[in-house]
Each structure stands twice: as structure tokens, then as C-alpha cells.
Structure 1
Amino acid sequence: MNIGILLKEGPYNHQAADTAYKFAEAAIKKGHTVDAVFLYNDGVINATNLTDPPQDDRNIAARWSNMAKEHGVEILACIAASKRRGITDDIMIEGGSITGLGTLTDIAIRNDRLLTFGD
């Protein structure tokens, strides 16, 4: 099954980022394809390299970056939501990029399922 993910919450203020990542990880292990993760609203914060969590905490941005590198998952941040939060291409994680909202429609069309995490 081909899966797209929509993540609408930030990395440390809501469980949605952890849940979306764990779901994607489990789906890949089961042989499914996670095509793309589209970040919207505060979800765009998941893809910045500005986060610097304590050593004993999880690094959510690094997790997404590794998933992009290891499994070819596109990590895509909405341009409007990114601009509202001062996020530009130069502070995106490796494997992340900024794109238009129309890409979310493309993700929904080309995948069997689009799962939404967050409010």
C-alpha cells in the first residue's frame, strides 16, 4: 500500500509528530511505501534544523531526515505555513523541502491512503 501522511502539529508540543513518525516507521517495516510526509500549520517546525533537544531527548527533526535518506520519503513543508513561521529552505533538514499546498493534493491522489496526524 502507498501511504501519504499529513502532519499538522509541532514536534514537542503535541503527540502527533511522534505518532506520525512511529506509524510511518511501522508501515515501512511491514512492507508498505510511505511516499511523502506533508507538514502543515505548526507541523512545518518538524523539518527545521534549528531544534537542538537535550542529549537524553528524542530528536524529531533528525528522525524525519533519516527517514528521508534511508527510505526515500519526501518531507515536504507547506510554503505558506513556513513563511508565517520564518522557515526558509536554508534551515530545512536534509531531505526536507518547501513546496506549495497543491502538492498535498498530488499526494492524496497518487497514494492509496492519506493519514492525518494532529488537529
Structure 2
Amino acid sequence: MKFAIALFSAAHAPSSRRALLFAQAALAGGHEIVRLFFYQDGVHNASDAVVTPQDELDLPKQWRTFITEQNLDGVVCIAAALRRGVLNTEEAGRYQRDAVAVSAPWELSGLGQLHDAVQDADRLICFGGA
């Protein structure tokens, strides 16, 4: 089965961990992940600026490692990222900001990427959000 996964919750939220565990289990079960789409507060999972206390799980690091090792498509909604100051080098330059918080393997892109993923997948699985 082909899954598109959308994550709407911040890195410290339980649903972010559940999304990662689901994605890992899906691949281990022989399924395919078409795309991981991070939206709303979920964009913080892609931020290099998140500092996790030593006694907590570093989910942004785990997501980065998982996406890199599995060669997955990790897309961060550009509008949601801009609203939250989660910028890549290009957007930081465009908006004349010093802080860059997103780098590879993440890609900033629009909601069209989520739409395309839904068209290619058998199922869209969403985690978090209100």
C-alpha cells in the first residue's frame, strides 16, 4: 500500500512521535511512503533551531535521520513555515532574515505537493492538528 503522511503537530507533541513510529512500521511492513508533508505546527519537526532537553526524544533529529536514511520526500509547507519563522536559505534571503532553520533533506513547497501525494497514494494518514 502507498501512504501519504501529513503531520500537523509540533515536535514535542505525542502525535509527532506516533507519526514517526507509523512511518517506520509502514516501511518495515513493505509499504511505500509517497511523501511526508509537514503542515501547521508540524513544520517545527523540520527546524534545525529546535533544542530538545537531554532527557527527551529529539524528534526533529529522528525525523531528519529517518528521511535521509530511507531516501524519503520530506516536504514542509512554505506558508506555514514562513508564518513560524522556519526558513531555508532562499527564503531567509528573500525576506532579509538572518536565521536559517531548514536544510536538507527538507524541501519547502506549497500545498500542491500534498495534493499530488494524495493523488499518488492509496491512503492519506494525518497526525495531529485541531
TM-score range, shorter chain: over 0.9
Gaps of 5+ in 2: 90-100
Larger-gyration structure (1/2) = 2
The yes-or-no answer on 1:5 pairing with 2:15 is no
Runs of 4+ in 1 over 6 A off after TM superposition: none
Superposition pairs for residues 47-62 of structure 1, below 5 Å? 47-62=46-61
Matched, 1:103 2:113: yes
In structure 1, the gaps of 5 or more residues are none
Q: 1: distance between equivalents of 2:125 and 2:103?
A: 22
Compute the TM-score of the two structures, normalised by the length of structure 1.
0.93
Change (3 A) 1:55 1:94: farther
Equivalence map 1:15-94=2 (5 Å): 15-90=14-89, 91-94=101-104
Question: What number of residue pairs does the alignment pair up?
Answer: 118
C-alpha distance in structure 2 between counterparts of 1:61 and 1:45, whole Å: 8
Q: CA RMSD in A?
A: 1.1
- Greater shift, 63-72 or 17-26, is seen at 63-72
Q: Deviations over 1:55-102 (max 9, x none)?
A: 232111111111111111111111110110011114214311110111
Q: Tell me how far apart the structure 1 counterparts of residues 103 and 123 of structure 2 sit (CA, whole Å).
A: 25
Q: Aligned partners of 2:7 and 2:36: how far apart in 1? A: 7
State the one-letter code of the partner of 1:8.
F
Most deviating of 51-60 and 109-118: 51-60
Query: Comparing 108-117 with 49-58, which one deviates more in the overlay?
Result: 49-58
